[in-house]
């Protein structure tokens, strides 16, 4: 699913023509300087930030995104900041064997050093209009509703926030019951 599609769908649902015009300009701009300049506009930056927040909440609370990453330990530790878009550790393996671990002071503490495969819950981070979101089409509506809810909250539209948030959480719960999705190893 393309980022632009999600943002446009949310803006249409919210009836926000001014912001939609800014996003359309961004879409029509040639890649490079003009697109970078438009991306810096406050409303567009806010939309990206809120979209990331919506996706992160969806992956944290409703639809865990399982990721795997190979990481080399140093002094029997792996800094959690080395894991791309980390939320929580699920499993650690060394030579295809599960290894016991602890999390202490933002480090994954291991019994020995080595090249580990860390399986964890993460989230896709959006940083460009050209990014795609690794969710299937059934989840598009949930992401759009989450973006709408966060937009309303951030802009003081509390009645609208309550409506979108309620619908978002209801649909997110249904998605949660259906499945979990997995990202390829990075």
For 92-134, the pLDDT digits (tens) are 999 999 999 999 999 999 999 999 999 999 888 777 666 777 6
* Pairing assessment for the beta strands 102-104 and 97-98 based on DSSP bridges: unpaired
Element (H, E) at 150: helix 140-154
pLDDT at position 167 is 93
Arithmetic mean of pLDDT over the chain: 80
Q: Is the pLDDT of residue 17 over 50?
A: no
Band of pLDDT at residue 185, cut at 50, 70 and 90: low
pTM of the model: 0.72
Q: Please state, in angstroms and rounded to a whole number, the distance separating the CA atoms of residues 43 and 46.
A: 5
Tokens 């998605």 correspond to what residue? 175
Tokens 């490079």 correspond to what residue? 32
Q: Is the pLDDT of residue 31 over 90?
A: no
Sign of CA dihedral 24, 30, 31, 35: negative
Tokens 């602890």 correspond to what residue? 102
Q: Does residue 93 or residue 34 have the better pLDDT?
A: 93
pLDDT at position 125 is 78
Tokens 């003081």 correspond to what residue? 156
pLDDT at position 19 is 56
Q: How many residues does the chain have?
A: 186
Q: Where are the beta strands (DSSP E) in the chain?
A: 65-72, 77-79, 86-94, 97-98, 102-104, 107-109, 115-122, 181-182
Q: Choose the weakest-confidence range: 40-44, 111-115, 181-185.
A: 181-185
Please compute the mean of the pLDDT values over residues 59-88 and round it to a whole number: 92
Tens digit of each residue's pLDDT (9 = 90 or more) over 153-162:
998 989 989 9
Q: Does residue 48 or residue 97 have the better pLDDT?
A: 97
Domain map (residue ranges) of the chain: 3-63+127-182, 65-122
Angle at 2 between CA 22 and CA 42, to 5 degrees: 30
Band of pLDDT at residue 18, cut at 50, 70 and 90: very low
């Amino acid at each position: 699913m393309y980022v632009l599609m999600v943002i446009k769908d949310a803006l249409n649902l919210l009836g926000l023509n001014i912001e939609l015009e800014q996003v359309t300009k961004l879409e029509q701009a040639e890649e490079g300087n003009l697109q970078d300049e438009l991306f810096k506009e406050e409303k567009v930056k806010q939309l990206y930030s809120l979209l990331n927040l919506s996706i992160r909440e969806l992956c944290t609370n409703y639809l865990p995104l399982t990721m795997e990453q190979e990481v080399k330990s140093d002094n029997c530790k792996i800094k959690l900041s080395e894991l791309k878009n980390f939320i929580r550790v699920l499993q650690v393996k060394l030579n295809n064997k599960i290894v016991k671990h602890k999390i202490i002071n933002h480090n994954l503490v291991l019994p020995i050093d080595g090249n580990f495969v860390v399986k964890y819950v993460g989230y896709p981070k959006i940083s460009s209009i050209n990014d795609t979101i690794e969710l299937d089409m059934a989840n598009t509506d949930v992401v759009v509703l989450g973006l709408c809810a966060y937009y309303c909250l951030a802009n003081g539209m509390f009645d609208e926030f309550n409506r979108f948030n309620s619908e978002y959480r209801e649909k997110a719960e249904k998605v949660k019951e259906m499945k979990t999705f997995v990202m390829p190893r990075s």
